[in-house]
Amino acid sequence: MTYVRKKSLLIGINYTGSANQLAGCHKDVENIAEFLSYRGYNTEDQVILRDRDGGLSEPTGVNILRAFDWLVSEPDTCNFLHYSGHGGQVEDPTGRHPTGLLDTIVPVDFQENGQINSDQLHRHLISALPPNSTLFVILDCCHSGSALELPYVYKSDDEGNIALLDNVKEGFRLFAEGADILSGGPSVNKIAEAQDLYAGATNFFRGLSHMGDPAGLNDSKYASDYQDETKTVTMFSGCRDEQTSADASIGGVNEGAMTWSFLEAMKNGAGASYLATLQQTRFALRESDYQQVPQLSVGWQIDLNQGLIM
């Protein structure tokens, strides 16, 4: 059996002492580290960033991007990323996204140096990933559904039924509906309705990777970055783009609801398939009265009955 090196990067930011303070993100890192030890991940190939350790282990924007680059720097590796902290949205500096917004993760020094947006996340983690390596990601933060700009998104309803959204096809449909509304001449109500459709389309067009630039919406550099990228990447995110992700108290312990529900699913044997993991994560959140809807996003069309690549 061929040996595959397993690398992991765990980021937990409590924003201690700030107005944005969270309580459970350091605990999430501890829980995930313990889980990975049972999955064959060694501490020698693990980097942990927390806002209590200082130096290169402080989760500043520069340190996070440097750690991303380390994680996906080698071929023939199995890579795991966990982020627990704030997520947000910022204005799109490129003007390429219809709503003008990008999902973000929020470094501890965001007030001085800004946030890390979804374009940056995709380039550092997906575009940079060697084709023969894999990446498994858990994002426990708000506005995380499109954070990696992956082309295929799966959601589970309360009954466990799974729906696949093809980002590109759905995005074009929403844009077409918005254009139809305005075709008879604009009005205040029509513009508001069209804007809602365009906003919905944004989340789908973040999945333009490997599809080129069929609508001419992006410049050539952007299209070339995302073309032909069928990478083995899996992301379980805490909620849809428009939802918040709970910083929870479970059994008297502060921890992230998404991280907790994922680990509960693993304890119940859900790791045997992507289908079971997504369903059991949703069930755990719902049974604990959390309204957020976890998503599975991937870089290739997947057989949901296969075991997790992790």
234 backbone dihedrals φ, ψ, rounded to 5°: -125, 135
Q: Are 87 and 143 in contact (CB under 8 A)?
A: yes
Known catalytic residue: 142? Answer: yes
Residues near 93 by beta carbon (within 8 Å), at least 6 away in sequence = none
State the alpha helices, DSSP H only, in the chain. 25-38, 61-71, 110-113, 118-121, 167-182, 188-205, 220-226, 257-267, 274-287
**Cα–chain center distance at 175:** 24
The active-site residue, picked from 86, 97, 122, 143, is: 86
DSSP-derived secondary structure letter, 6: E
- Please state, in angstroms and rounded to a whole number, the distance separating the CA atoms of residues 285 and 297: 18
* Cβ-Cβ contacts under 8 Å for 159 (sequence gap 6 or more): none
Pair 239, 275: CB distance under 8 Å: no
Residues sharing a CB contact under 8 Å with residue 148, sequence separation 6 or more, in sequence order: 118, 121, 122, 125, 126, 137, 139, 233, 235, 297
Question: DSSP assignment, residue 225?
Answer: H
Structure token digits, residue 76: 């023939």
Active-site annotation holder among 78, 142, 143, 239: 142
> Could you write out the DSSP letters of every residue in 97-159?
STTSEEEEE--TTHHHH--EEHHHHIIIIIITS-TT-EEEEEEESSS-TTTT--SEEEEE-TT
* Contact (CB, 8 A) for 59 and 108: yes
Catalytic residues: 86, 142
